[in-house]
Structure 1
Amino acid sequence: MASSIIFQIKNALLAAISLFMMALAIPVGIVLYVVGHGYDTQYYVGRLASSLILKLFGWKVKVEGAEHLRTPAPAVFCSNHQATIDMLIQAYLQPKRTVGLGKKDLLYIPLLNAYVFFTNMFLIDRGNHDHAMATMARVSKTMSEKKLSLYIYPEGTRSNSSTPSLLPLKKGAFRVALGGGYPIVPVVVQNYSHIYSAKEKRLEPGTICVRILPPIETKGLELKDMDDLIQRTTNLMREALIEMSKRNTHLNGKSD
């Protein structure tokens, strides 16, 4: 019982800080828009938020292959999706001029809708196939016009798994990449249920290892190559995820 209460307190603190940082995106976004850097709002607010939260909760992020984060825009960063703190890791990692993709439902959540607006996040209606297809085409076109990269979770939902696993990757990210000939940069985050698990009421200090894989080129590929591209990306990410989680189990629960 005590451990559950402690988890709820820590989780509430995490949520409160996250909401404050989202609110901060409003004035920061206005200033950056005025000076011509509106697409960097998520970068600056995210770096500040992630630095504060990581330090406060005793979390460390170890990155392998950081040089691939410098892949020239436009690029599509594809990350596995586990739980809430994926957003924190994204904020810690993502380069400048990188935007996200979220559910259209975010428009109806106070404060989150302001964050979506000021960080230039793309929104998709997954329940409407035609709208989703049109959104992906618009994303690909905007990336080319504005020289932006996209950070996306192609699994489409959180796995909430206590083991290193990868859900089937949806086609949206790959449709964007193929539509513009943009490289896909896989971002593999080890299973971090050792430090955060809502199911097990766990929120402890520790280390999360992340591996940025080399870009997968899509120039010269067509939509008919999508299934092969998805399978190739899946295999690379799953292999890295399993290997990392096995190799780094000694870090579980530690803050060193």
Structure 2
Amino acid sequence: MFRFICIVIFLVLYLILSIPVFLAEWIIGKFSREKRDYSSLRIVQFGFKVILRMTSVKTTIIGEENIPDEPVLFVGNHRSFFDILLTYSRCRRLTGYVAKKEMEHIPLLSTWMRFVYCLFLDRENPKEGLKTILTAIDYIKKGISICIFPEGTRNKGEELSMLPFKDGAFKIAAKTGCAIIPISMNNTAAIFENQFPKIRKVHVVIEYGKPIYPNELDKETKRHIGDYVQNVIQETIKRNAEMV
């Protein structure tokens, strides 16, 4: 409980104290959009790293060398709020995360999310959902990676289970030809969700799979690419379960 309270206090202070930083970032962007983008990325990553340090979570990272130095589509299983902190804090390139529409209404936090190219997905409105996917495609073409959790929501089932992947997410890679990087995460729900509101010091495993280029797949596999990527992640989290 103590860790939870400390993190809440830090997050509130971080958001309040970052208000003048928005102005500084806006000014930087007037002279160099790239410098603003990367300074915003590092500022957000700093906040996430502080929070992760406060949790005392031990992290084992596998396969980070598999990520090519080019815009990619990160696809991962999703069981915890901390999935975002754990993965975003390691992004080397500009990366926009696809978040649920409700996040757009959180003051200050949503401003930072827009600064780092996050997209807000309305899961109840197919037309708006398509617009989000089209924007993500545009970001990839501009050199910005995208991360999405195709289960559509946090999976609250058994540890090694996964919800069916939604196919819309994979249109981002199919339309751009970018690499799909599977992200397999073990034990992240044990940090917080399994014993809400307590935060536990646990060991999590994150594995980045080898790049999957849609245009290099056979026709049948490409048609069912969501199932293919989900199987890769499912096999990996089962294999890594013994490590936590």
TM-score normalized by structure 1? 0.82
Report the counterpart of residue 179 of structure 1 in structure 2: 175
In the alignment, which of 78, 81, 86 is matched to residue 84 of structure 1?
Answer: 81
Unaligned runs of 5+ in 1: 1-6, 250-256
CA shift for structure 1 position 68 = 1.9
Report the counterpart of residue 155 of structure 1 in structure 2: 151
Report the counterpart of residue 93 of structure 2 in structure 1: 96
Q: Are the structure 2 counterparts of residues 17 and 153 from structure 1 closer, same or farther at C-alpha, using a change threshold of 3 Å?
A: farther
Report the counterpart of residue 29 of structure 2 in structure 1: 33
In the alignment, which of 203, 208, 220 is matched to residue 207 of structure 1?
Answer: 203
For the aligned residues, what is the CA RMSD?
2.6
Report the counterpart of residue 134 of structure 2 in structure 1: 137
In the alignment, which of 230, 234, 240 is matched to residue 236 of structure 2?
Answer: 240
In the alignment, which of 99, 113, 138 is matched to residue 116 of structure 1?
Answer: 113
Q: Are the structure 2 counterparts of residues 57 and 124 from structure 1 closer, same or farther at C-alpha, using a change threshold of 3 Å?
A: closer
Report which stretch shifted further, 18-27 or 159-168: 18-27
CA shift for structure 1 position 182 = 1.0
Instruction: Within 5 Å, give how 1:222-233 maps onto structure 2.
Output: 227-233=223-229
TM-score normalized by structure 2? 0.85
Matched, 1:197 2:181: no
Matched, 1:17 2:15: no
Report the counterpart of residue 4 of structure 1 in structure 2: none
Residues 119-157 of structure 1, C-alpha deviations (whole Å, 9 max, x = no match) = 22122222211221132122202320x211111111111
Aligned length: 239
Q: Are the structure 2 counterparts of residues 39 and 218 from structure 1 closer, same or farther at C-alpha, using a change threshold of 3 Å?
A: farther
CA shift for structure 1 position 41 = 4.7
Identity between Structure 1 and Structure 2 (%): 21
CA shift for structure 1 position 46 = 3.4
- Assess if the C-alpha contact under 8 Å between 1:137 and 1:179 holds in 2: no
- Assess if the C-alpha contact under 8 Å between 2:95 and 2:117 holds in 1: no
CA shift for structure 1 position 57 = 2.2
Report which stretch shifted further, 21-30 or 231-240: 21-30
